[in-house]
Amino acid sequence: MRLVILTQDDPFYLAQNIDYLLKKLPPYAEVVATVVFDVSPFGKRETFSQKMKKTYDIFGLPFFVRYGFKFVLSKLDSRNNVRKTLADRNIPLIQIEGNINKDENLEKLRAYKPDLLVSIAGNQIFKRKLLDVATHGCINLHTALLPKYRGLMPSFWVLKNGETHTGVSVFFVDEGIDSGPILVQKKLEIGNRSQAELIDVTKKMGMDAILESIEKIHSGNYELIENDAAQMTYFTFPTKADVQAFLKAGKKFY
């Protein structure tokens, strides 16, 4: 099975988890290429200075200093570099120009004859022509129990809203946002975890869920779980008021 991974150059969580995924891939699955999008934590394209200012304005000085320090350290530690993790395994990087859905970018993907696209924090909207590039379409990891908590930063929202459980969902991508049918779903008790701890746990769970999904697709033996739009909730990026309510509720970022 020929896989193409669609991901982003996240400096905090992705590199080591993708490395774990690659180590655990079954013998019949091969990552033949990757697309690495520029990191976009706010769900839209912004300059680095805009991202810094927004982080400071919304999350405050202690959060800004902590993650600013982690960002610098990540640049010095190759284990946190997504591109290097892929390069160390000699996995080709597909260079795209602009939106991935452009015809010239789709042709680059088709050249690798993928059986399955695997989106891990892919941060562009995928259109039908892209989804049809691979024989089995595209799966995506979402670190929440869909159909609840579609959208951005579910680890923040489940804590703010006082949920007792969260989890991960791997689903077939359609042209909506986190709306496709679910292939694998795993539940997790939140306990007293901070947001950072929750992200760590769910990312690792997510890699195992992706591996399970690949096995199901390869065998053809699976039943899809409905991603019921009538039950959905959707969240965007938090505001400063949301962060204040998060902290007032006794929740922790780290």
187 DSSP β-pair partners: 167
Ordered by where they begin, the domains of the chain are 2-248 (3.40.50.170)
Tell me the one-letter amino acid at 97: E
End-to-end alpha-carbon separation of the chain, Å?
39
User: Can you give the pTM of this predicted structure?
Assistant: 0.93
- Tell me the C-alpha to C-alpha distance, in Å, between residue 251 and each of 55, 112, 241: 18, 45, 14
Is the CB of residue 55 less than 8 Å from the CB of residue 24?
no
User: Does residue 73 register a pLDDT over 60?
Assistant: yes
> What is the reported pLDDT for 74?
80
pLDDT in tens, 126-170: 999 999 999 999 999 999 999 999 999 999 999 999 999 999 999
Distance CA(162)–CA(202), nearest Å, equals 17
Joined tokens for residue 111: 């050249």
